[in-house]
Chains A and B, each alone.
Chain A
């Protein structure tokens, strides 16, 4: 079972990287970019084929390690083959 976990700064929190990237895009000619949020993406291969189990495990991974839930949000997506 493959999954993609994405971790982003929480919506209401300042994202200095995202802001700098948005400004840079504008400087190199890409107008009309309202907002950029810079996050991380993890591709994780799990041994199980049980979707519910996979999701539960991945959420625990996020809570424990992959995301700092004080400042970050995460989303888990199972990639169907």
Chain B
């Protein structure tokens, strides 16, 4: 039964291709409708069944993730995941990608990436308290790369700073595989009282649907997919309308929404992100099993002449849609108007299960909702292990370093290991006065004001490991994140991710995807960390070449008592330095081989989940007993880089002696950490380690102006000031600043 009054479309292969729909998907749509679709219905469906909105190539593999746990309040399926963090508080967090737009226009791409993830947090009723960004750039000398880096950093800074949310860390990596596909993954964390959470699940037939925020323009709509009568004099430009971020409006919308939520008059709320009005209204209705009646004439427009198709697909930023309790609209409008925002009543929730969209008196779409949102196509893409896997895993020859100091300095001078302070001094890292540890350490630490606790937040992945062995790489990312949190005394409560991969229609890419998820899932189960939200970014490929698999992991943990969190760096001379964990020689995919010898070869280091668990529990116990002054885990660059980083942070030297020698100083064996404690505490630290079954060795002491390492027969001796100069100037120098 349809009341459609708009003309229907005759789909040609070319039209379907422009909408990225397959012939089968089109037939499915026709079957759902019982007729041909209208332009608007075609646009809506192509958006909802796009990879980004429907997860059609990834769903079957994502089901493997463990999503339950004692602290989980909201798992995947909403705008952000939510976990209980104690004392009546919950934390909402999520990570999202904005890769392709950032490659086209890095400043606006990263601005709008930050804006989008912040809305996903406050739409759940949580006030965002911190942001992080995982960035993957290409080689600095690659075409456009310096301006891409500059644009992305300025965009992240300008947006986060203006909205007043500190950017407290992240990861910045450089690899040629990203030369034509940079990655910008934005991670945000917010908090709410446990009884002040909101969902995006519409209900209540007759409840009004309200639109709040910026007006709708043609942002994000590609000229080529517009209905023919939408072309105007500008059509010769044919450039997509770039989405521009307005962080001031975002700040206003954020404050107004949090205030409006306290009135109790909001039933459901969702931000308008990808596929704007379409995804937000349809997803809310789909989750609630309701119908929708929208009068598109009432949508606030920034430009005249937008068609219903354009209105439904526009990705104009800083807009929210909410379902209000009937009769209480005025209460909400008052709040929004006080903040200077426009509110428009654009329709009603119904009980038909169908979306009926009206415009200029005609019905332009009449389509059932759940077949689109809950029954989107699901694909099992063929997977194929790479033919050369065994060869990739052959252990590489490991050249011995000739000069330890020179080798260390060479690594510190690479963009990967160089100090990133050029980047994060452009971010406000302390606004809201919650930042105990900001960028530069393993994990950020944020106060939970009014409680003795704190939250810790980190982001990790090693794409080179993931390319060599996606299972191990996925597991390693989870293990390292948990280890980073443990170094602050935090127990993980949940994981979010941004799974950045190439073209899933390439069987090797789908194989990478499946394997990475399996590895992540096993690590999550062993370490007791549920996956509560996430994002998939496929099609990160150019000219047939895909990026390395990059499953970025974001993890949040709770520190029961913030008062004695160890410092990320050496702080006090005379502290004893203890190396925790078992040393082995593992160089597969290591930074030492890659950056100094151009070798990416070998199976990545083993991820021994039992050892990771014991180390994490040990670290948390030591922190809780106030025994640690400093803590830092070992990862890229192994022991020597970790030791150097501990020293460089505050310029305090150290003198150590270790059994490993030569290249083993750079071995990337996992499940290890370096801690520093007062001399009187070292016995307790060693005993605790023994009881925990974690190998532990007192290797030396902090102090002095040099880094001195006796390693078997070798010796490294370097003034910390010299190392600091190399390390702190490398990135600005490489960028030409």
The reply to whether the CB of B244 lies closer than 8 angstroms to some CB of chain A is yes
What chain A residues lie within 8 Å of B241 (beta carbons)?
A: 10, 12-13
Dominant SS at the A interface? loop
The reply to whether the CB of A28 lies closer than 8 angstroms to some CB of chain B is no
Q: Which of A13, A20, A68, A71 contacts B248 (CB 8 A)?
A: A20
Q: How far is the CA of A70 from the CA of B108 in the complex (A)?
A: 10
Chain A positions 1-20 with a Cβ under 8 Å from a chain B Cβ: 9-16, 19-20
Cβ contact within 8 Å between B108 and A12: no
Q: State the Cβ distance, B603 to closest chain A Cβ, in Å.
A: 43
What chain A residues lie within 8 Å of B340 (beta carbons)?
A: 23
Q: State the Cβ distance, B98 to closest chain A Cβ, in Å.
A: 15
Cβ contact within 8 Å between B246 and A16: yes
Please, which residue of chain B has its CB at the minimum distance from the CB of A16?
Answer: B246
What chain A residues lie within 8 Å of B214 (beta carbons)?
A: 14
Cβ contact within 8 Å between A14 and B248: no
Q: State the Cβ distance, B424 to closest chain A Cβ, in Å.
A: 25
Contact with A along B292-328 (1 / 0, CB 8 A): 0000000000110000000000001100000000000
Q: How far is the CA of A13 from the CA of B105 in the complex (A)?
A: 13
Cβ contact within 8 Å between A71 and B218: no
Cβ contact within 8 Å between A14 and B303: no
The reply to whether the CB of B242 lies closer than 8 angstroms to some CB of chain A is yes
Cβ contact within 8 Å between B217 and A70: no
What chain A residues lie within 8 Å of B104 (beta carbons)?
A: 70
What chain A residues lie within 8 Å of B247 (beta carbons)?
A: 16
Q: How far is the CA of A16 from the CA of B239 in the complex (A)?
A: 20
The reply to whether the CB of B667 lies closer than 8 angstroms to some CB of chain A is no
Contact with A along B222-245 (1 / 0, CB 8 A): 000000000000100001011111
Cβ contact within 8 Å between B244 and A14: yes
Cβ contact within 8 Å between A71 and B303: no
Cβ contact within 8 Å between A14 and B239: no
What chain B residues lie within 8 Å of A71 (beta carbons)?
A: 105, 108, 242, 244
Chain B positions 116-172 with a Cβ under 8 Å from a chain A Cβ: none
The reply to whether the CB of B219 lies closer than 8 angstroms to some CB of chain A is yes
Q: How far is the CA of A9 from the CA of B108 in the complex (A)?
A: 13
Q: How far is the CA of A15 from the CA of B219 in the complex (A)?
A: 12
Q: State the Cβ distance, A22 to closest chain B Cβ, in Å.
A: 12
**Which residue, of B214, B234, B302, has the highest number of chain A Cβ atoms within 10 A?**
B302
Q: From known contacts A9-B244, A23-B340, A70-B242, infer whether A14 and B317 are also in contact, taking CB-CB under 8 Å.
A: yes
Contact with A along B654-668 (1 / 0, CB 8 A): 000000000000000
Please, which residue of chain B has its CB at the minimum distance from the CB of A70?
Answer: B105
Interface residues on chain B, number (Cβ under 8 Å): 23
Chain B positions 93-128 with a Cβ under 8 Å from a chain A Cβ: 104-105, 108
Q: Which of B105, B218, B245 contacts A12 (CB 8 A)?
A: B218
Q: State the Cβ distance, B121 to closest chain A Cβ, in Å.
A: 21
Chain A positions 52-81 with a Cβ under 8 Å from a chain B Cβ: 68, 70-71
What chain B residues lie within 8 Å of A23 (beta carbons)?
A: 340
Cβ contact within 8 Å between B242 and A16: no
Q: How far is the CA of A16 from the CA of B316 in the complex (A)?
A: 12
Q: State the Cβ distance, B68 to closest chain A Cβ, in Å.
A: 41
Contact with A along B58-81 (1 / 0, CB 8 A): 000000000000000000000000
Cβ contact within 8 Å between B244 and A13: yes
The reply to whether the CB of B249 lies closer than 8 angstroms to some CB of chain A is yes
Q: How far is the CA of A15 from the CA of B247 in the complex (A)?
A: 12
Q: State the Cβ distance, A11 to closest chain B Cβ, in Å.
A: 8
Q: State the Cβ distance, B571 to closest chain A Cβ, in Å.
A: 43
What chain A residues lie within 8 Å of B249 (beta carbons)?
A: 16, 19
What chain B residues lie within 8 Å of A9 (beta carbons)?
A: 244
Q: How far is the CA of A75 from the CA of B121 in the complex (A)?
A: 41
Q: State the Cβ distance, B388 to closest chain A Cβ, in Å.
A: 39
Q: State the Cβ distance, A27 to closest chain B Cβ, in Å.
A: 9
Q: State the Cβ distance, A54 to closest chain B Cβ, in Å.
A: 25
Cβ contact within 8 Å between A19 and B244: no
Q: How far is the CA of A12 from the CA of B234 in the complex (A)?
A: 10
Q: Which of A11, A14, A20 contacts B219 (CB 8 A)?
A: A14
What chain B residues lie within 8 Å of A68 (beta carbons)?
A: 105
Q: How far is the CA of A1 from the CA of B105 in the complex (A)?
A: 34
Q: State the Cβ distance, A24 to closest chain B Cβ, in Å.
A: 10
Q: State the Cβ distance, A44 to closest chain B Cβ, in Å.
A: 23
What chain B residues lie within 8 Å of A70 (beta carbons)?
A: 104-105, 239, 242
Cβ contact within 8 Å between B248 and A16: yes
Cβ contact within 8 Å between B234 and A14: no
Q: State the Cβ distance, A7 to closest chain B Cβ, in Å.
A: 15
Q: How far is the CA of A12 from the CA of B216 in the complex (A)?
A: 11
Cβ contact within 8 Å between B217 and A12: yes
Please, which residue of chain A has its CB at the minimum distance from the CB of B239?
Answer: A70
Cβ contact within 8 Å between A14 and B316: yes
Q: How far is the CA of A29 from the CA of B11 in the complex (A)?
A: 53
What chain A residues lie within 8 Å of B248 (beta carbons)?
A: 16, 20
Cβ contact within 8 Å between A13 and B246: no
Q: How far is the CA of A71 from the CA of B246 in the complex (A)?
A: 14
Q: How far is the CA of A14 from the CA of B436 in the complex (A)?
A: 37
Q: How far is the CA of A76 from the CA of B219 in the complex (A)?
A: 27
Q: How far is the CA of A79 from the CA of B589 in the complex (A)?
A: 61
What chain B residues lie within 8 Å of A10 (beta carbons)?
A: 241
Q: State the Cβ distance, B434 to closest chain A Cβ, in Å.
A: 27
Q: How far is the CA of A19 from the CA of B243 in the complex (A)?
A: 15
A-B contact pairs, 19 of them (CB 8 A): A12-B217, A12-B218, A12-B303, A13-B241, A13-B244, A14-B214, A14-B243, A14-B246, A14-B302, A14-B317, A15-B244, A16-B244, A16-B249, A20-B248, A70-B239, A70-B242, A71-B108, A71-B242, A71-B244
Q: Which residues of B approach A to under 8 Å, CB–CB?
A: 104-105, 108, 214, 217-219, 234, 239, 241-249, 302-303, 316-317, 340
Identify the 6 closest CB pairs spanning chains A and B, nearest first.
A16-B246, A14-B244, A70-B105, A12-B241, A71-B242, A13-B244
Given contacts A14-B219, A16-B246, A16-B248, 17 further A-B contacts (CB under 8 A): A10-B241, A13-B219, A13-B241, A13-B244, A14-B214, A14-B217, A14-B244, A14-B317, A15-B244, A19-B246, A19-B249, A20-B248, A70-B239, A70-B242, A71-B105, A71-B108, A71-B242
Q: Which residues of A approach B to under 8 Å, CB–CB?
A: 9-16, 19-20, 23, 68, 70-71
